[in-house]
Amino acid sequence: MQFKKMMIGASLVLSIGLFAACGNNTNSTEGTKESKTKTTESSVDLNKVALPQLDNKVSEDEYLVELVTTEGNIKIKLFPKQAPKAVENFVKHAKDGYYKDTPFHRVIEDFMIQGGDPKGDGTGGESIWKDGFKTEVSNQLYNIRGALSMARGESRSSNGSQFFIVTNKEDQSDGLAIQYYPEKIIEQYKKGGAPKLDGEYTVFGQVIEGMDTVDKIASGEVKDGGSGEKSTPVEPAKVTEVKVLQEPKK
């Protein structure tokens, strides 16, 4: 499957339909409008659902992976129960060495860092099934600061290999309604994140150690790579290896 440059829609800085490097979107906020209808009101009491992102402990049904990068290491726990396809895809790619020496090709300091493209420019990458797979949405997972999410193109079924980590530190809680968000997640969004992406992109992991490394990568010098967006790193940080440190107990 061929990818256009992937971007993720966001009103934080500009929207990227996907992630320029992960994604396939265009620079518009069109893709984020649906996100407000993403978690439609239901009979579910959101304040009673489990919120695994808020716990740094890795449970028996979660993976623990480590991104070894040229700027330091990042430990992330993955959520196979909530995002099975995304986790299976990422773990298999990790074990196969697919991400070896891939750069964070798109960096927006107050938004996210994006990587996972073996071509290194945001136009490549594929899933372990070769074709794109569907976006997985869970009322337990959100694009809070430190969230690991899949980048995709305009189609919700275009997830491949690219991913992003949310870096924004600005309060994003204003306007988040309790009928759509657990109260603890609204509180978490006061510390940053990208709620505009909720319901639009698959959240499948959370950084539990190494956000200082993420922030270091995010603060690197960037230039306009030709798209009109100043997000191409001058000296891109690279993922040299992804280690699988813990797997769910069967």
Measured CA to CA in angstroms, residue 37 lies from 32, 52, 131, 198, 201 at distances of: 10, 23, 27, 10, 13
Q: What is the dihedral of CA 182, 187, 192, 198, to 10 degrees?
A: 10
In a domain, 214, yes or no: yes
**Environment class of residue 49 by beta-carbon count within 10 Å: exposed (0-12), middle (13-18) or buried (19+)?**
middle
pLDDT in tens, 51-88: 999 999 999 999 999 999 999 999 999 999 999 999 99
In a domain, 45, yes or no: no
CA distances from 55 to 76, 188, 208 (A): 12, 12, 8
**Residue 173: inside a domain, yes or no?**
yes
The CATH number assigned to the domain holding 162 equals 2.40.100.10
The three-state secondary structure class of 223 is strand
Q: Is residue 28 part of a domain?
A: no
Q: What pLDDT is stored for residue 43 in this prediction?
A: 73
Judge whether 106 lies within some domain: yes
pLDDT tens for 167-225 read 999 999 999 999 999 999 999 999 999 999 999 999 999 999 999 999 999 999 999 99
> Which whole-number Å values give the CA distances from 163 to 54, 73, 136, 244, in the listed order?
20, 16, 14, 17
Averaged pLDDT for residues 88-116:
98
How many distinct structural domains can be found in the chain? 1
Place of tokens 């996100």: 35
Residue 195 lies in a domain: yes
Which residue range forms the structural domain that includes residue 151?
A: 63-246
Whether the full predicted model's pTM is greater than 0.85, yes or no, is yes
Nearest to 6 by CA among 241, 234, 247, 229: 229
Whether 29 is covered by a domain: the verdict is no
Q: Are 104 and 238 in contact (CB under 8 A)?
A: yes
Is the separation of the CB atoms in 17 and 30 below 8 Å? yes
